[in-house]
């Protein structure tokens, strides 16, 4: 009788541990950007026959990459307050369990994308998995303070994956969306690294605030917000969007630059946290504005 009472609780706990490996909040943003790419690839509503399996497949492979990241970085995660709770860092899940879980998710997602969507999307998604889970996590992150810049290429791929799922090609519009996320990633992540610098110092990772100091990192955050602002104007310049998106891009970009300027001139951990949180809103609202503009533009 005791076993029958404990088993459901144990199973639910184990399920939560596996779900934690997938970094749901991070993957949620990845899938959101991929869906935006799907919606923007078509003048009307995209085919659900392609959109549904593409969304599920991208979610599965992204979750697999997150789980593999937790596996590789379990020793590092255990030293950082931000990540010490992860099941691999706490020893709640073994390396073999995490590896098998990641392999199963990646295999299922890849098979779904190949057979239900198209081979191009599968290979692009798998390349993104390799870029993040292997090239970034295993090679770049422990070797160079520019890890987040170079590794950002894989994190910028979701709109390209969504676009490829619908059109079976990669157009300039998809490349522009990829560029925006690529340039958004460094100021977003460095804002986090600034107020978590002691965590990264203990972990031994060569993050920019650790290797080059706070002043240099804050200057780079500001410079990247300026370059990002220019990139966010490209959808309007190439005719991908209209005035509604342009207005949103100018307002959101101006706010991000203001945060970068304040961070550079008068640093505080509280301001770095606000900058990090705003960066999440910046990308989400920017792509939401691009989507709304896409459907409203024919009527304006």
Q: Within 13 Å of residue 262, how many CA atoms lie on the same side as its CB?
A: 15
Predicted pLDDT at 25 = 87
Residues of the chain with pLDDT under 70: 1-9, 297-300
Q: pLDDT tens-digit profile of 54-91?
A: 999 999 999 999 999 999 888 887 888 777 788 888 88
Tell me what pLDDT residue 217 has. 95
- Say how far apart CA 87 and CA 94 lie, in whole Å: 9
Domain stop point among 106, 139, 170: 170
CA 175 to chain centre: 16
Q: pLDDT value at position 280?
A: 93
Token pair listed for 157? 């791929």
Q: Could you tell me if 149 and 29 lie in one domain?
A: yes
User: CB–CB of 36/159 below 8 Å?
Assistant: yes
Q: Are residues 108 and 83 in the same domain?
A: yes
- Structure tokens belonging to residue 203: 């972990």
Q: Give the CA distances from residue 248 to residues 34, 40, 172, 181, 252, in Å, rounded to whole numbers and listed in that order.
A: 20, 17, 21, 16, 6
Report the predicted TM-score, pTM, of the whole model to 2 decimal places: 0.89
| CA distances to 180, 191, 263, 277 from 35, in Å | 16, 26, 32, 22
> Strand runs (DSSP E) across the chain, as ranges?
none
* Residue 81 pLDDT: 76
Tally the domains of the chain. Answer: 2
- Which domain covers residue 286, as residue numbers? 171-300
Is residue 180 in a domain? yes
């Amino acid at each position: 009788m005791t076993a029958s009472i404990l088993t459901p609780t144990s199973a639910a706990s184990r399920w939560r541990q596996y779900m934690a490996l997938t970094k749901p909040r991070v993957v949620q943003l990845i899938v959101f950007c991929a869906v935006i790419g799907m919606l923007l690839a078509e003048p009307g509503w995209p085919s659900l026959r392609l959109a549904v399996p593409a969304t599920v497949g991208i979610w599965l492979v992204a979750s697999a990459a997150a789980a593999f990241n937790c596996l590789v970085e379990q020793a590092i995660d255990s030293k950082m307050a931000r990540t010490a709770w992860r099941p691999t860092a706490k020893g709640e899940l073994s390396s073999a369990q995490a590896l098998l879980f990641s392999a199963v998710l990646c295999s299922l997602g890849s098979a779904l994308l190949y057979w239900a969507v198209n081979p191009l999307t599968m290979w692009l998604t798998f390349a993104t998995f390799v870029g993040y889970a292997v090239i970034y996590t295993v090679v770049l992150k422990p070797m160079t303070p520019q890890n987040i810049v170079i590794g950002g290429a894989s994190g910028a791929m979701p709109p390209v994956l969504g676009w490829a799922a619908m059109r079976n090609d990669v157009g300039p519009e998809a490349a522009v969306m990829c560029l925006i996320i690529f340039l958004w990633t460094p100021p977003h992540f460095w804002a986090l690294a600034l107020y978590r610098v002691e965590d990264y110092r203990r972990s031994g990772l060569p993050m920019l605030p650790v290797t080059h100091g706070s002043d240099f990192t804050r200057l780079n955050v500001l410079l990247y917000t300026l370059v990002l602002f220019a990139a966010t104007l490209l959808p309007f310049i190439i005719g991908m969007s209209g005035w509604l998106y342009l207005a949103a891009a100018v307002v959101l970009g101006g706010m991000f630059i203001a945060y970068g300027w304040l961070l550079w001139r008068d640093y505080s951990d509280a301001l770095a946290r606000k900058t990090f949180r705003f960066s999440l809103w910046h990308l989400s609202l920017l792509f939401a504005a691009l989507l709304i503009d896409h459907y409203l533009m024919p009527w304006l």
